[in-house]
Chains A and B, each alone.
Chain A
Amino acid sequence: RKEVEQDPGPFNVPEGATVAFNCTYSNSASQSFFWYRQDCRKEPKLLMSVYSSGNEDGRFTAQLNRASQYISLLIRDSKLSDSATYLCVVVTYGNNRLAFGKGNQVVVIP
């Protein structure tokens, strides 16, 4: 089983709609979780951390479900500028390295 799994999509979303997607991780010892964003032909950039209690940053909401070993990202009121690939990142303390998923590609349609 892959360390971090994501459905690559694409997720085609009408402008103004809500889109949500999950990422599953295989190592139950994983301790920190993040979402990075990668625009087409650009480098990845940290979008937000994912806290155990869930957290929100504007139109973006991240959640963690440790029992089922997945994290989620929800985007409300989608903008055209939200079109990007969202990379799920998991860190397991001890090796202290970032494990990336393949990414969820989001395409916001006018």
Chain B
Amino acid sequence: ETGVTQTPRHLVMGMTNKKSLKCEQHLGHNAMYWYKQSAKKPLELMFVYNFKEQTENNSVPSRFSPECPNSSHLFLHLHTLQPEDSALYLCASSHSGGKTYEQYFGPGTRLTVT
């Protein structure tokens, strides 16, 4: 596999469910990101990991819990979500340092909370 992959591609969950989103990058990058893309809104950065360490949490509610076991894998654990959390969740990766602007995105998980 190449690039950045995400699973599942689509997810429908109830407000009481617990689910996890998975991201994997095959590019040798050291930084990974979670973004949220809602309709009519810009991409919102949620979390940043550099060399497996979380370096940014952009005031994300605790019902979203990231996990980065190594530089190639990133998870987003979801529990007790709200309908307004329905959105496209995009994972991205990049080199650390001066080239963080060149981010490679996965295809996203389209999440619907019912």
Measured in the bound complex, the distance between the Cα atoms of B93 and A98 in whole Å is 12
Interface contact tally, CB-CB below 8 A: 42
Residues of A within 8 A of B41 (CB): 102
B29 to chain A, nearest CB (A): 14
B107 touches A42 (CB 8 A): yes
Q: From the candidates A98, A99, A103, name the one contacting B103 in the complex (CB within 8 A).
A: A98
Size of chain B's interface in residues, with CB distance under 8 A?
17
Q: Is the interface of B mostly helix, strand, loop or mixed?
A: loop
- Flag whether B11 is at the interface (Cβ < 8 A): no
B59 to chain A, nearest CB (A): 13
- Flag whether A43 is at the interface (Cβ < 8 A): yes
B101 touches A43 (CB 8 A): no
Interface residues on A, range: 20 to 34
B102 touches A96 (CB 8 A): no
- Flag whether A55 is at the interface (Cβ < 8 A): no
Chain A 88-110 near chain B by CB (<8 Å), digits 1 or 0:
01010000111111110000000
- Flag whether A4 is at the interface (Cβ < 8 A): yes
- Between A and B, 16 residue pairs with Cβ closer than 8 Å are A42-B107, A43-B90, A43-B105, A43-B107, A43-B108, A44-B43, A44-B90, A46-B102, A46-B103, A49-B101, A96-B100, A97-B56, A98-B101, A102-B41, A102-B42, A103-B42
- Chain A positions within 8 Å of B, measured between CB atoms, are 4, 8, 32, 34, 42-46, 49, 87, 89, 91, 96-103
